[in-house]
Structure 1
Amino acid sequence: MPKRISTARGREFGEGMRAAITNAGLTAREAADVLSWQEAKVSDVVTGRGGVTRLEVALLLGACRTKADERDHLLELFPDRDSSGWWQLHGKCAPVRPRTALTHLAVAETLISWHTHAVPVLLRTVDYMREVLTASATVPADEVDERLCVLREMQELLGNGLDCTFYLHEVALDVQIGGPDVHIGQLQHLMFKANWKKVRVLIVPAAAGAHAGMAGPFTRLTFPKYEPLVWTATENSSLFVETKEAVDGYADVIRALDEVSLSEDESRDLIIRRCVRLQEGEGAVDES
């Protein structure tokens, strides 16, 4: 069956509109009655079909008594809901709850993630992540605990049958984030996750030298019903790449990373050796 033609903006708009009706305690028919519309009109507004106006969207949101910030977000999405690719500017720092990323992780079929110098976000321990957030120059201290809760929520999605492959550079095993206990705990957590049935952890060895992933971290998601997308995050923005050519380019990067990575068993053995040596108090040493 061919994948549905949709966009990240369009999916978030539609889900937000459906949630607005549900949160108001209404069915589509009841919402239509409130506005003296046909039920099909509500469906047209929710799906953003042609012929629907921004005013009609606003009327439905008003009838649902949608909170102002959510109302403004959906009205902002409406004109560009069919646009492919989405660069989200967050201001000083990323939002506490990355709504678009969470929404797509929840319905994804496969995930492939690469990180250049740190453990990928979905494989981080709470202690490791706390150290990363505390070291941030932009994240407010009073948001750290809430962000950690969101991190745990994101990680729980890995247990929903999501097929995951994580690529990380060998250097990520050696960078001490927090004290020795945090460092060892993170390596033990990697070993634990690497033993999950649908999780693969692959290490790009330092000996590989220059490689295809040097441009930066990214996460590629595929879906049962939609075309794949790539999600990248910076200090204060997120990019959701959707055009076929661009997504195919990332697929080429993944294939190149796979060629230079250690196997699953070799990667697991490398993590174990690092962990054992740290536990013995010798620290990271040359593996040659």
Structure 2
Amino acid sequence: MGDRESTVRMRELGLALRRALERAGLESKAVARELGWSPSKVSHVLRATRGVSERDVASILAMARIRGDERERLLELARRAHEPGWLQEFGGRLPPNLRTLIDHEDAAVAINSYQGLLVPGLLQVASYTRALMSTSATIPPDEIEERVDARIKRQEILDRRRPAIFRFFVDEYVLTRTGPGPEIMSEQLHHLLRMSVRPRIQFRVIPDAVGFHAAVVSSFVLMEFTEINPVLHLEPENTSVYPEGRKTIAGYQDILASLDTVALNPGQSREWIARLAHKLGAP
């Protein structure tokens, strides 16, 4: 097959196949030799720079001893690998495709996000997440704790041995709104202070005094990688959207550059949060 424009499905498939081979202790040269492929074909498949057939994926999965549900998931990715613009609708249930976001977060070398209404999910404390989900009209009450656990589980990415570089931009309103109540917001602000001193985490507050800015109408996450193109993640109510157009990605990169000019620097942001936390008192 010839080279194709990489899609989110292709990228996730490539990442999953590489991890499967790593877990099995197999190097690409051994895979090429065993399957009778050229080394370049194996490289293209594992880097998601070339289309791969369902049969080829099945061969790699057999070598890596991947069976059951995971095998079927990856074969489905291969069947639909060339469909651009992944819209994942999960309605009123815990999204099984949350693994898509998690896989990309786990592989990213840099994660940039902007939030205009809520504390970023990777920095939320459980009580904040629970209060937020309890007000949702689309999340069944008996699924709230499962979803809270899933969100907190995602935060393990911040504690891994070699974490990505994180940049979080938030509007002032995100931290001053009293939606979850003063006690929970106090806990949340103190948590942000603890996280913001980590060397690979930048937390940037955009003061209300700057007025409208480049990202005022759209929250987003832009993930960067060493080998594949950046991945943009938008999350409207009950959906996950992954726009893939180059111009769209470039537009959000321009938004991040603009936010960098209007947000408080990391030190100023910590001081701003500390003053607000002090007003609310101890968590």
Change (3 A) 1:103 1:207: same
Partners of 1:108 and 1:49 lie apart in 2 by 17
Matched, 1:80 2:80: yes
Q: Name the counterpart of 2:9.
A: 9
Q: Name the counterpart of 1:274.
A: 276
Matched, 1:145 2:141: no
Q: Name the counterpart of 1:284.
A: none
Q: Deviations over 1:50-74 (max 9, x none)?
A: 8965467679879978435x55543
Partners of 2:197 and 2:232 lie apart in 1 by 26
Change (3 A) 1:190 1:196: same
Structure 1 letter corresponding to 2:108: A
Q: Name the counterpart of 2:218.
A: 216
> What residue ranges of structure 1 are gaps of 5+ in the alignment?
33-37, 281-288
Partners of 1:7 and 1:53 lie apart in 2 by 15
Q: Name the counterpart of 1:98.
A: 98
Q: Name the counterpart of 2:130.
A: 130
What's the TM-score, normalizing by structure 1?
Answer: 0.78
Shift of 1:154: 1.6
Partners of 2:253 and 2:75 lie apart in 1 by 34
Shift of 1:10: 1.1
Q: Check the 8 A contact 1:93/1:236 in 2, yes or no.
A: no
Q: Name the counterpart of 1:242.
A: 244
Shift of 1:85: 3.2
**Counterpart selection for 2:35 from 39, 64, 67:** 39
Partners of 1:62 and 1:140 lie apart in 2 by 39
Change (3 A) 1:162 1:62: closer
Structure 2 letter corresponding to 1:204: I
Answer with 104-113 or 57-66: which moved more.
57-66
Instruction: List aligned pairs for 1:248-287, cutoff 5 A.
Output: 248-279=250-281
Q: Deviations over 1:104-144 (max 9, x none)?
A: 11111111110011111111111111111222222222222
Alpha-carbon RMSD across the aligned residues, in angstroms, is 3.4
Partners of 2:96 and 2:77 lie apart in 1 by 20
Q: Check the 8 A contact 2:169/2:203 in 1, yes or no.
A: yes
SS of 2:157 mapped into structure 1: helix
Shift of 1:200: 0.9
Change (3 A) 1:268 1:22: closer
Instruction: List aligned pairs for 1:173-188, cutoff 5 A.
Output: 173-188=175-190
Partners of 1:255 and 1:219 lie apart in 2 by 14
How many residues were matched structurally? 268
Answer with 135-144 or 250-259: which moved more.
135-144
What's the TM-score, normalizing by structure 2?
Answer: 0.79
Change (3 A) 1:208 1:225: same
Q: Check the 8 A contact 2:5/2:49 in 1, yes or no.
A: no
Structure 1 letter corresponding to 2:200: K
Partners of 2:253 and 2:21 lie apart in 1 by 38
Structure 2 letter corresponding to 1:115: Q
Aligned-pair identity in percent equals 31
Change (3 A) 1:269 1:62: closer
SS of 1:127 mapped into structure 2: helix
Partners of 2:139 and 2:49 lie apart in 1 by 39
Structure 2 letter corresponding to 1:111: I
Q: Deviations over 1:54-108 (max 9, x none)?
A: 467679879978435x555434422331444322222345616611110011111
Partners of 1:79 and 1:263 lie apart in 2 by 45
Shift of 1:231: 0.9
Pick the structure with greater CA Rg.
1
Shift of 1:148: 2.5
Change (3 A) 1:244 1:173: same
Q: Deviations over 1:154-173 (max 9, x none)?
A: 21212332111100010111
Answer with 247-256 or 79-88: which moved more.
79-88
